[in-house]
Amino acid sequence: MLKEYFKKIGARRFWVMLIGNVILALGVAVFKFSGLGNDPFNGMAMGLADRTGIIYGNFVVMINIVLLIIEFIFGRSLIGIGTLVNAGLQGYIATFFYNMMVNLWGAPAAFWQRVIIVCIGVIVASLGLSMYQTADVGIAPWDSISIIMSKRWPRIPYFWHRMSNDALAALVCFLSGGIVGLGTLICAFGLGPVAHFFSEKFSKKLVGAKRGSGQ
Q: What gap in Å lies between CA 73 and CA 67, rounded to an integer?
A: 10
Instruction: List pLDDT tens digits, range 23-57.
Output: 999 999 999 999 999 999 999 999 999 999 999 99
Please count the other Cβ atoms lying within 10 Å of the Cβ belonging to residue 4.
7
Q: Could you say which residues of the chain have pLDDT below 50? A: 211-215
Predicted pLDDT of residue 48? 97
pLDDT at 215: 40
Q: Tell me the per-residue pLDDT of 77-100, one tens digit each, with 9 for 90 and over.
A: 999 999 999 999 999 999 999 999
- Which residues, 6 or more positions from 137, have their beta carbon under 8 angstroms from its beta carbon? 9, 13, 14, 17, 80, 81, 82
Q: Is 37 helix (H, G, I), strand (E, B) or coil?
A: coil
> What's the pLDDT score for residue 131?
95
Q: Decide: pTM greater than 0.75.
A: yes
Question: For position 209, what pLDDT does the model report?
Answer: 55
Element (DSSP H or E) covering residue 195: helix 182-198
pLDDT given for residue 7 in this prediction: 85
| H or E, element range at 148 | helix 141-152
pLDDT at position 214 is 41
Spatial distance between the Cα atoms of 41 and 27, rounded to a whole number of angstroms: 14
Kindly report the number of other CB atoms within 10 A of residue 154's CB atom.
Answer: 9
Give the separation between CA 196 and CA 215, rounded to whole angstroms. Answer: 6
Query: What's the CA gap between 34 and 152, in Å, rounded?
Result: 37
